[in-house]
Structure 1
């Protein structure tokens, strides 16, 4: 039975005073009952635009042609009132970001009850009048929370969104989507912001739902490893068109389109071995000209570091973020800190960077123990954050962003020299010099991360800390940045402390790894040893959760 069918669908967006822009061109695909179909592509490929056209969530400035059939009915051009009756009852929608989609001031149970009232044709503004009705509504709410895989639904019922983890909030959205008992579930990047282990739990649960309930699922993702591992069929989109479609096993071993093959090559879980450095153009900032470079064997030594955070209210339990953490990073190598959210990775990174003081233990940098002054440390160690947009001043040009550290620490360098250095660094991060005059808001995510890396290199540091610096990027852009980091390390003799939750990325870039959980070290050692023969069950679970791991086994 065909649940959803797109027939030669084209979508345009129009703006005030501008000609219409075509976002989707000539798309045809369908989803059958009990089938999981994945749409894959980078940001801007038209994936979300296409699926939102089928449930009436496109902006008013859009225009749709072709046929979109839901349950045999052509819904292209339907009004919002007609779509409102269809959403929830026939098709459920799971959006990407639960932090935006859930009401922060209303308990979870009440939000799901509102959804159930709407499915029953009753306004969520009007309460049920009898105690029996209210009891039945709560029973139904708890049933759907349990169906979505949430533990202890009665406890979750009374919680607010901020009291739940990212994975739990995503399951609440699944519960809301299931509350109308739909035949079709559309999930738009439902796991992209989650740890790999939580991501696996959510995807496993979606698999169980379609097996047990027979619903069809249309999954949108940028990660081809996820799609190949989970979907019956995969549709690859680029620039608004379908470039390839086929069964997962066929695409895995016989992809014909160059773009599909590039996505395959970019998926960390589909790789074995590490990235090899390529030659890179370097300028006057090459560290080999600096007499101050360390001769120490280890650039970073963390010895018995502990850190506990105490809440403002004495009644709240203190949080142990790090407990007796120790590891060493050999000069010129990459060491990765791995673990789920809350493992203590970022706390350790900030202690190493001098941004926090440990309660116990010490950090030795570049062979020097004891406190560094902020100015001394800034010249030798730099930080690259996960979200480049939030760490770059939107009012400054790219050239000024890159050279901002020079204006603070190198008063002897004038503006003309700074801009020459910025041009060299743009060459170094393989970004065209024409971007020097642009602002961060005019760049893509990958381009802004390159600018952030160039800024970190402007003071010619020896250590660079990268805190989830590629986790928010499309996998193909992520692959480019990882290769760039390897190239820069070889050219500039850099030592990296690389924080991530993704062991697939670790395999590509890290020489050594420390696995953390709940503030403690689970195991530590050479990357190949830890990933290929993990001793701890938690590490094995992380390795098995890497998207594409099973597909890699099939691929051989």
Structure 2
């Protein structure tokens, strides 16, 4: 008997004052014991809606038709209370973002114990509050932390979520999902926000659990490389419908649908070679004069030169002062008009170094030269020559401004002689440059998709015609197809504007498409540096080889 089956399932959302929206359109699929099935598709394809329908996590306004069976029970349309006896004990759920899913004011142990107590009610356990019972609950919590792959569970038990890395927090969510000893796990993008090495560890552990315990897993992901690496079967969804289904080999060798082929083309781990810039139809000379007046672009051979910079932070815990080195004698150079990638896992020091280069933090020692100059840069001058694009565009875009005002905000701050009407014209030119339709100029950031919002952030960064742009994980939170579009756009803009990029990332699959040179960081130190072709084609250190091997689909070719 299948652990989970969907038969002709349709799901409609109804919002007040709007026509019903169909999010899932006639989906049928099954999950068998010990099987890993992946659902692949872009944001908005209906993936998360489908799996949440199997555990009663959809809004009450949703209407469901068709059959959703957990074992022999048809749960379509069940109430929240009826689902309670299946959640945890039969099906476990691993959400995407542990930062949102874990309670920040409760220790990890309390959160696992709460899950255990909720799921053990009604079984033959001693009454709540009994000392022996509490000790048994604690022992069970330790066991599930270990089962989720966490060493030293006694230490993890006492910590709060903010004291754990992203991978450790994700493992805690796995421990909570496993605490009811379910037969089925539903995992909704459980690794999309993690470093590729941590992602590999988590996925390896899920493989171990299904092999060891016979658990069936339904995994939602937007990364076809992950699916090809892991799945017994792949279901490709688009606009609520299944467009293709098959084994990884069938999908890779003989994808029938254009959408599946587009996802294959967008997966960075499946490709070799670099992006080829395309021409941009934009009057860059006019834009430069309007935006920056007398600003003259530099002619230095190297736009960025970092020499032996070091930075340490002091932390206090339990009355003990501890020094953590975020950067330790880091050196690299970035030739003007090229892209240099800083690569490494979380905590490697990438963002700290970027902030030092961008003037947002001071190094304890060492030197940074920008555009051939070492003298102290004023904030205004530095802003004209260097701009940032961050990972989450929504956090850096003022929700009260429309897109046109967001794009030209730097001009409004730095160029008092340019009026609102002229700024509006510049905004439209910039939207053309980042290939965003001009009608978006009147929208607010909250009305944009992730890819559209990132295009706005890029347009704003270009509004002062900088020579250097620091891209801090600027594509890591995007669907792979949107990520491919943004990377192509950045390559096009670099060719059009002669931009120099400092590209911060943990994903070597993206680096090989986009970067000219790369420095691999570990623990604040550069362990390997050179051209992207040299470092990725013939890595000298085991750490770099491990990063390369962790790229989803890296051993496959399209």
TM bucket normalised to smaller? over 0.9
Partners of 1:13 and 1:288 lie apart in 2 by 47
CA deviation profile, 1:5-31 (whole Å, cap 9, x unmatched): 000000011112222111111000111
Partners of 2:163 and 2:321 lie apart in 1 by 14
Structure 2's unaligned 5+ residue stretches are none
Change (3 A) 1:122 1:166: farther
State the match for 1:359 in structure 2. 364
> Would you say 1:300 and 2:304 are equivalent positions?
yes
Partners of 1:351 and 1:129 lie apart in 2 by 53
Partners of 2:413 and 2:134 lie apart in 1 by 63
State the match for 2:515 in structure 1. 510
1:121 deviates by 1.5
Partners of 2:453 and 2:545 lie apart in 1 by 34
Out of 522, 536, 539, the position equivalent to 1:531 is 536
Partners of 2:165 and 2:549 lie apart in 1 by 21
State the match for 1:499 in structure 2. 504
State the match for 1:443 in structure 2. 448
State the match for 1:420 in structure 2. 425
1:222 deviates by 0.6
> Would you say 1:522 and 2:527 are equivalent positions?
yes
State the match for 1:52 in structure 2. 52
Q: Report the 3-state secondary structure (helix = DSSP H, G, I; strand = E; otherwise coil) of the residue aligned with 2:363.
A: coil
1:471 deviates by 0.6
8 Å CA contact 1:286, 1:491 repeated in 2: no
Partners of 1:503 and 1:492 lie apart in 2 by 25
Map 1:322-341; keep pairs closer than 5 Å: 322-341=327-346
Structure 1's unaligned 5+ residue stretches are none
Partners of 1:307 and 1:69 lie apart in 2 by 56
> Would you say 1:117 and 2:122 are equivalent positions?
no
State the match for 1:318 in structure 2. 323
Count of residue pairs brought into register by the alignment:
551
Change (3 A) 1:296 1:243: same
8 Å CA contact 1:301, 1:328 repeated in 2: yes
State the match for 1:69 in structure 2. 69
Partners of 1:139 and 1:177 lie apart in 2 by 17
Map 1:55-134; keep pairs closer than 5 Å: 55-121=55-121, 128-134=128-134
Q: Report the 3-state secondary structure (helix = DSSP H, G, I; strand = E; otherwise coil) of the residue aligned with 2:30.
A: strand
1:129 deviates by 3.9
- Alignment TM-score, normalising by the size of structure 2: 0.96
Partners of 2:267 and 2:47 lie apart in 1 by 18
Out of 410, 423, 427, the position equivalent to 1:405 is 410
8 Å CA contact 1:98, 1:166 repeated in 2: yes
State the match for 2:545 in structure 1. 540
Q: Report the 3-state secondary structure (helix = DSSP H, G, I; strand = E; otherwise coil) of the residue aligned with 2:377.
A: coil
Partners of 2:468 and 2:377 lie apart in 1 by 14
State the match for 2:137 in structure 1. 137
1:419 deviates by 1.4
Partners of 1:268 and 1:284 lie apart in 2 by 30
Map 1:122-521; keep pairs closer than 5 Å: 128-285=128-285, 292-311=296-315, 315-521=320-526
1:449 deviates by 0.6
8 Å CA contact 1:109, 1:158 repeated in 2: yes
1:306 deviates by 0.6
Q: Report the 3-state secondary structure (helix = DSSP H, G, I; strand = E; otherwise coil) of the residue aligned with 1:9.
A: strand
Partners of 1:64 and 1:92 lie apart in 2 by 21
Shifted more, 2-11 versus 368-377: the winner is: 368-377
Shifted more, 318-327 versus 130-139: the winner is: 130-139
8 Å CA contact 2:316, 2:322 repeated in 1: no
Partners of 1:285 and 1:466 lie apart in 2 by 24
CA RMSD of aligned residues (A): 1.6
Q: Report the 3-state secondary structure (helix = DSSP H, G, I; strand = E; otherwise coil) of the residue aligned with 1:420.
A: helix
Partners of 2:85 and 2:228 lie apart in 1 by 33
Partners of 2:295 and 2:458 lie apart in 1 by 23
8 Å CA contact 1:285, 1:460 repeated in 2: no
